[in-house]
Structure 1
Amino acid sequence: MALPSIFSADIAATVVERINQLKPTTQPQWGKMDVAQMLAHCNVTYEMVYENKHPKPNFLMKLFLKSFIKHIVTNEQPYKRNSQTAPAFLIKSTKDFQTEKKRLINYITKTQQLGETYFDQKESHSFGRLTKEEWNNMFYKHLDHHLHQFGV
């Protein structure tokens, strides 16, 4: 079954509504991140698309990521609780809830407005070219996983 499309205005709005239900005091149902760290963690996916702040993996690392990690990240299967994450996604410092929330909503809005055509066959930071379905799965599945983590 296909995941909901983050490129759809309705689905993007629903995800933003869920984010807007979060409060700085919202507690996780599992994991170690607080809510502001989780929002910053979700922002990393979009930083890798829109910003030039994360070093690209070298050839061998990219080969490993494409061979072993890409399918896990881009398929339709939900992530398991407490799954391991890549080092760039580890958020250990204190983050500002409102700043991270605003950034994430802006990234989701930008992604939806650019649309699936923009992303179809676009080169990803770590996995090479992805189809629009793979981009959608990566974006939506990650957000949905962490919003469930925080009960919204």
Structure 2
Amino acid sequence: MKNMFNEKETQTVVDRIKKLNSEAQPLWGKMSVDQMLAHCNVTYEMVYDKKHPKPNAFKRWMLKAIVKPIVVGDKPYKKNSRTAPEFIITDTKNFELEKNRLVDFINRTQRLGADHFENKASHSFGPLTNKEWNVMFYKHLDHHLNQFGV
């Protein structure tokens, strides 16, 4: 598992993103490359922006009990696994804009560092360790970059 708080390892992920072009086709799944980038940005929007409403208490309890172990666990995501409604992107997005936003979010996260994320509350799961944050950030990106062959 790459460390998204390590500059060198973060650059490896950024380099993979930069290999994408607007014509890239998925090896599985339904999303186009621009939708995939926008989908990956949702994770960071939930950290840095106020555009996604927080789940109510019942939904947060369900997310913590059922989804959190999958999201922050070491086991890779399965191909074509279900996603939360907030992460479903159906419209066409600006490829370059979404790619640049994702790189900016990744670099911002790396610069803030692991200490910033230790016990920081996530949008859906409550407080997470920096290891859990790292797994969530990297595993999701790696899954979708593999989906597009980079």
Give the TM bin, normalised by the shorter chain. over 0.9
Gaps of 5+ in 2: none
For residues 32 and 61 of structure 2, the distance between their equivalents in structure 1, rounded to whole angstroms, comes to 32
Distance 2:2 2:87 in 1: 23
Identity %: 58
Corresponding residue SS for 1:129: strand
The equivalent of 1:148 in structure 2 is 146
| 1:25 alignment partner in structure 2 | 23
Per-residue deviation, residues 47-79 of structure 1 (Å, max 9, x unmatched): 000000001000000000001100000011100
Corresponding residue to 2:80 among 79, 82, 92: 82
> How many aligned positions are there?
150
1:120 to 2:104 alignment: no
Q: Which residue of 2 aligns with 1:8?
A: 6
Partner of 2:60: 62
CA RMSD of aligned residues (A): 0.4
In the alignment, what sits opposite 1:130?
128
CA distance in 2, matches of 1:40, 1:76: 24
Residue of structure 2 equivalent to 1:51: 49
Counterpart amino acid of residue 12 in structure 2: T
TM-score by length of 2: 0.99
User: How many angstroms apart in 1 are the aligned matches of 2:111 and 2:74?
Assistant: 23
CA distance in 2: counterparts of 1:68 and 1:88, whole angstroms: 17
**Whole-Å separation in 1 of the counterparts to 2:33 and 2:5:** 24
2:3 and 2:87 map into 1 onto residues whose CA distance is 23
Looking at structure 1, the residues matched to 145 and 9 of structure 2 have their Cα atoms a distance apart, in angstroms, of 14
**Deviation of the 1:4 alpha carbon:** 1.4
C-alpha distance in structure 2 between counterparts of 1:150 and 1:120, whole Å: 31
In the alignment, structure 1 segments of 5+ residues that lack a partner are: none
In 1, distance between residues paired with 2:105 and 2:10?
Answer: 10
C-alpha distance in structure 1 between counterparts of 2:2 and 2:99, whole Å: 21
How many angstroms apart in 2 are the aligned matches of 1:76 and 1:112? Answer: 20
